Amino acid sequence: MKMIQKRGKFEYAKFMLTWLLLITFLSMETLADEPMTRLRPVVPDHHLSFPHDYGAHQDFRIEWWYITGWLESGDNKPLGFQVTFFRYATDQNHDNPSHFAAKYLIIAHLALSDPSAGKLMHQEKTLREGFGLAYAKQGNTDVKLDDWYLVREDNGRYQVDMRADEFGLQLSLAPTQAVLLQGDEGFSRKGPKPEQASYYYSEPHLRVTGTVFRNNKPVAVNGSAWLDHEWSTAYLDSDADGWDWVGANLDDGSALMAFQIRGKNGGKVWAYAALRDPSGEVRFFNPDQVEFTPLRTWKSPHTEAVYPVAMHIRTDDIEWRLTPMLDDQELDSRQSTGAVYWEGAVTLTKNQQPAGRGYLELTGYVRPLAL
């Protein structure tokens, strides 16, 4: 009987934890459409300041540090990887002095694309900030969630250590180029209204060295990566249904970032692209100059979502073609952010010539589960 009682208490605790997480993320969706008096809006004519803006911005609702890249091991077999840390302000307990008050949530996603495995391997974690177990510090990049962390050193080098049961990463990422400010000096529009925006910068062509762990076996790797850091309070148009995004390190030293926000009617709500050449000159493209056209789709056997995994992108007079490393690069994060999205390593051609490698992100292709 005691064993049954203990089991019952354990199942009840699991139920309550799941329910609390569900309430939290439902609240996150609700708050996205409501004014948040304590949190600051994103405004134009704001100048980013470094190194301060490498760190967390706790006066904004949502923030993420996002790294994607291509790696090669000693056998020259390519691997793709994704590391993302999210900081979310709940805006519910700001004046509560208790250390248990859930003022901020820290969420992390880890993924590895390995053609030999035939699918994306991924892991996710979520904790409320506090007790030294989870935090996003101000002043410089220093984000931690349990035993996962992303830290930027004073010399600009990033250190990543994230390990799961079946795979993991321990990487060092060194900058080789200047920060790329997206939009208007870091003010990145995400819709037709000025308030639909974020602060956004990228660090392309990070030089990567380190170790990939598979079944606790270390393999030395090297490669290149792309880092995005973005923060905002509320910026998507009410008609937005998802987005398509690509960040790519090109073979000649150029860097390309492009995205479109898709509307619920299938049209384009907004679009943008930036192309920096090897000399550092940046060419910006307005919404009319950016088009995403699916070339081939893949239907997920996990969610039945249909993703345009091969994509044609036009940036004014330049034609890009994106081809996935493998089709099954779907990431199911319903246990953390509540979203399912496709996040995959791709190769690029420019005007039909090999051009580089990057990552394609496709969101909004999976409908939320009915409660």
Task: Please give the Cα distance from 328 to 118 (Å, whole number).
Answer: 7
Query: Mean pLDDT throughout 87-100?
Result: 63
pTM attached to this predicted model: 0.86
Nearest to 120 by CA among 241, 301, 297: 301
The answer to whether the beta carbons of residues 275 and 182 sit under 8 Å apart is no
Place of tokens 């134009």: 44
Q: Cβ contacts of residue 315 below 8 Å, gap of 6+?
A: 256, 258, 273, 275, 285, 289, 290
Can you spell out the DSSP letters for 241-286?
Answer: EEEEEEEEEETTS-EEEEEEEEETTSSEEEEEEEEE-TTS-EEEE-
pLDDT tens for 141-168 read 999 999 999 999 999 999 999 999 889 9
Please confirm whether the linkage preceding 115 is cis (ω < 30° from 0): no
Q: What was the pLDDT predicted at 76?
A: 79
Task: Please give the Cα distance from 84 to 110 (Å, whole number).
Answer: 7
Per DSSP, 363 falls in state -
Residue 230 banded pLDDT, cuts 50, 70, 90: very high
Q: What was the pLDDT predicted at 95?
A: 56
**Token pair listed for 258:** 């492009």
**Token pair listed for 142:** 């220093």
Judged by phi (left if over 0) then psi (alpha if -120 to 50, else beta), residue 115 lies in: alpha
pLDDT tens for 2-59 read 333 333 333 333 333 333 333 333 333 433 444 446 799 999 999 999 999 999 999 9
Task: Please give the Cα distance from 318 to 246 (Å, whole number).
Answer: 15
φ/ψ of 310, rounded to 5, equals: -110, 130
Burial of 14 (0-12, 13-18, 19+ CB in 10 A): exposed
Task: Please give the Cα distance from 106 to 130 (Å, whole number).
Answer: 10
The answer to whether the beta carbons of residues 322 and 342 sit under 8 Å apart is no
Asked whether the predicted pLDDT for residue 117 surpasses 90, the reply is no
Can you spell out the DSSP letters for 71-110?
Answer: EE-TT--EEEEEEEEEEEE-SSSTT---TT---EEEEEEE
Residue 114 banded pLDDT, cuts 50, 70, 90: very high
Q: What was the pLDDT predicted at 86?
A: 95
φ/ψ of 254, rounded to 5, equals: -75, 165
Residue 113 banded pLDDT, cuts 50, 70, 90: very high
Domains assigned to the chain = 2-25+42-362 (2.40.370.10)
Task: Please give the Cα distance from 61 to 290 (Å, whole number).
Answer: 29
User: CA angle, 32 as apex, 340 and 313 as ends, to 5°?
Assistant: 50
Query: Mean pLDDT throughout 239-254?
Result: 95
**Token pair listed for 118:** 């035939």
Arithmetic mean of pLDDT over the chain? 86
Cα dihedral 19/25/28/30 (nearest 10): -70
